[in-house]
Amino acid sequence: MNEISCKIMCLSMRNGVEIWLEDTRIENLRQALAAPNAPQFITLPDKQLINRSDIVGVFSPKSMESLTERKNGVWRCKQGKAHDRGEKCDCMPQKTKERNVEMYAAIAKCTRGCTDGYITHNDGSCEKCECLARFNQEYPT
Ligand SMILES: [Zn+2]
Ligand SMILES: [Zn+2]
């Protein structure tokens, strides 16, 4: 039940080996590494012997997870959700979705002949139509 002692961190090695250690052991390792005249080779609690020059770093499970995801082609969208390689993001927040529906409904009712809330003048300039301007005022993001 002691969550703190169960927290583990990953010691990542240059050769790709991941050594998972409890927080407290990582702390011991940190101290061993920081000590003056620290040896080049460090013995881990499970008798593994590592070359300190081969240590890439100590990472949280979360960092390791995103690294594994990246390797597998998984990417994260703006909403922070993981998507498989090639998968399209459909996590627009429900509120934004609903707002978009309302917005297009408001634009559809417009009688000024705008396209998606914008009026293009003959000289090519573009102006926000009143329908969209009003909608944005009534439903600020
Ligand atoms: Zn997404
Ligand atoms: Zn309009």
Is 72 found in the same domain as 26? yes
* Structure confidence at residue 10 (pLDDT): 93
Contact 95, 89 (CB under 8 A): no
126 is in which domain, residue-wise? 94-138
The Å distance, Cα 93 to ligand 1 centre, comes to 9
**CA distance linking residue 24 with residue 69, whole number of Å:** 27
The Å distance, Cα 69 to ligand 1 centre, comes to 14
* Structure confidence at residue 114 (pLDDT): 93
Is 75 found in the same domain as 50? yes
User: Does 134 map to a domain?
Assistant: yes
**Nearest CA to 26 among 77, 1, 61, 2?**
61
**Nearest CA to 119 among 109, 110, 129, 111?**
129
Last residue of a domain, one of 83, 110, 125: 83
* Structure confidence at residue 6 (pLDDT): 59
Q: For the chain, how many structural domains are there in total?
A: 2
Please identify every stretch of the chain with a pLDDT value under 50, giving residue numbers as ranges. Answer: 1-5
Is 125 found in the same domain as 76? no
Sequence letter at residue 40: Q
The Å distance, Cα 63 to ligand 1 centre, comes to 19
* Structure confidence at residue 38 (pLDDT): 84
Ligand nearest to the CA of 77: 1
**CA distance linking residue 87 with residue 110, whole number of Å:** 35
Bridge partners (DSSP) listed for residue 18: 12
* Structure confidence at residue 23 (pLDDT): 84
